[in-house]
Homo-oligomer: A and B are copies of this chain.
Amino acid sequence: MKVNGKSMRSIWPVGDAAVKVIDQRLLPYQFKVCELARAGDAEHAIRTMMVRGAPLIGVTGAYGLALALRADPSDAALAGAHARLLDSRPTAVNLRWALDRVRDAVVELPPSERAAAAWEEAGGIAREDVALNSAIGANGAEILRALHNRLRRTVNVLTHCNTGWLAAVDFGTALSAVYAAHDKGIPVHVWVDETRPRNQGLLTVWELAAHGVPHTLIVDNAGGHLMQRGQVDVVIVGADRVTARGDVANKIGTYLKAVAALDSGIPFYAAVPSPTIDWELEKGEDIPIEERAPSEVLEVAGLDADGNTVRAKLLPEGSAVANPAFDITPARLVTGIITERGVAEPWRLRDLFPELPPTDD
């Protein structure tokens, strides 16, 4: 997508010995590109949320494993780097998938060929992700087109967190649907949840503004009221993980929007590329929920009166804080899952992937 009129992705290779990423912790205030030249850089980028969003985390991990093999292509180094990178964000099933894929592509090769093959595999994952997200956008846009055809006015979408191209390689997931609809001339307006504690909604505002999509920032508390008053036509979110039965693990607060959407009769969709679907796992309750640092809750980043970045501390260090990073939206609250293959009710999700082995039951 575009930044200052220039086409941009969230991660791109520099020759064959490093990748560049945008330091997303500095957005929307500062646009800074960082080079990741070692596996440790990639691990650090994932752990500190310099990069965020399931697809981008996966691609960053894949390039990280390739960088590790450039330093040491041994079996031990491969296993060690795989484990360390995986540990940098245990909830993200995409990360495991991408790391496994790179490992599987190179493990049978002689060590001298591994780094180049891993680099090629990581690039392939990135290219496939762009294709996946483009297809998700096209499928999601059809939902917005149908709503527009029925309502004959601007379609109001509510979204949570950031699911745009910053969270992917390009296009994004939930926002890909918005971009595709907007680019096809379907009038859309997006209610953007601030998304405490990390305020990723501000990234969504930044993206939408850069692309010219009408939008309004709201606090996380406001969405239910807007739904009650008929000001939301559809909720579309992304996911960190979707289980086989369609339970959706996503940024904390997603469940509150889903249960309110049901209460107001508003459709609720999760837009995910298929690598985000964990076919091995049935119940959302079995997904471990990361408890993140209290400082995420206690400190809010912004600009001071002079335009310098500042962190406002809400309460003293040591205040009692709980900070669960994700919640689970049960499938019964989910109208449909938007994938690159099409849109399906949760219980029909597997039907979109006929190549999967039949389930036991």
A residues near B (Cβ < 8 Å) are 28, 191, 194-197, 199, 202, 205, 214-226, 228, 251-253, 255-257, 259-260, 263, 289, 297-305, 310-315, 319-324, 326-328
Q: Is the CB of A221 within 8 A of B219?
A: no
A222 with B312: in contact, given A259-B263, A319-B217, A328-B228 (CB under 8 Å)? Answer: no
**Which among A222, A311, A326 has the greatest number of chain B C-beta atoms within 10 A?**
A222
Question: B297–A302 contact, CB under 8 A?
Answer: no
Decide: A220 and B217 in contact? CB cutoff 8 A: no
Contacts of A196 in B (CB 8 A): 194, 196, 219-221
- 16 sample A-B contacts, Cβ–Cβ < 8 Å, listed by A number: A197-B219, A202-B314, A205-B319, A216-B322, A217-B297, A217-B315, A217-B320, A221-B251, A221-B253, A224-B259, A228-B328, A302-B312, A304-B310, A304-B313, A310-B310, A311-B312
Q: Bound state CA distance, A297 and B311, in angstroms?
A: 16
Beta-carbon contact of B319 and A222 below 8 Å: no
Distance to closest chain B CB from A339 (angstroms): 25
- A251 / chain B contacts, CB cutoff of 8 Å: 221
Q: How far is the CA of A205 from the CA of B322 in the complex (A)?
A: 13
